């Protein structure tokens, strides 16, 4: 995969993640407001749902950070090299996930 293709893929994923985060944020607010007016069980449901959403949001946030870092590496010319040992990362690995930041041996 060439670098510009990788960058394009990263930007697309970045944008769809941001859109998902926006949607989740918009749907989160009313749940919080409703909690006082609903019963204990549905309140626990709502809390559980909220915890799950927070975990999802956390994962998305980590992913966004990884993508941002990968785009920065592309701009710096460091893309495709392991952050830990500085060896070249296998092309199949980058093709699978352009945001990957280390080689197979360092990721284990
Ligand atoms: Zn490495």
For 46-82, letters b (16+ CB in 10 Å) and e give: eeeeeeeeeeeeeeeeeebebbeebbebbeeeebbbb
Q: From the CA of 53, how far away is ligand 1's center (Å)?
A: 33
Whether the model clears a pTM of 0.85, i.e. scores above it, the answer is no
**Residue 22 pLDDT more than 80?**
yes
Show the tokens assigned to 105. 């041996």
**Residue 76 pLDDT more than 90?**
yes
Q: From the CA of 91, how far away is ligand 1's center (Å)?
A: 14
**Residue 62 pLDDT more than 70?**
yes
**Residue 85 pLDDT more than 90?**
yes
Show the tokens assigned to 89. 């990362």
Which residue bears the tokens 């941002």? 68
Q: From the CA of 56, how far away is ligand 1's center (Å)?
A: 28
* Portion of the chain with pLDDT greater than 90, in percent: 71
* Portion of the chain with pLDDT greater than 70, in percent: 89
**Residue 71 pLDDT more than 70?**
yes
Q: From the CA of 100, how far away is ligand 1's center (Å)?
A: 11
């Amino acid at each position: 995969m060439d670098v510009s293709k990788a960058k394009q893929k990263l930007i697309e994923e970045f944008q769809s993640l941001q859109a998902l985060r926006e949607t989740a944020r918009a749907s989160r607010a009313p749940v919080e407001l409703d909690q006082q007016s609903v019963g204990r069980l549905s309140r626990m449901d709502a809390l559980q749902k909220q915890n799950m959403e927070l975990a999802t949001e956390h994962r998305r946030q980590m992913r966004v950070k990884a993508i941002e870092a990968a785009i920065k590496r592309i701009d710096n010319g460091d893309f495709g090299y392991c952050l830990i040992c500085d060896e070249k990362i296998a092309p199949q690995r980058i093709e699978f996930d352009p945001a990957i930041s280390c080689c197979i041996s360092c990721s284990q």
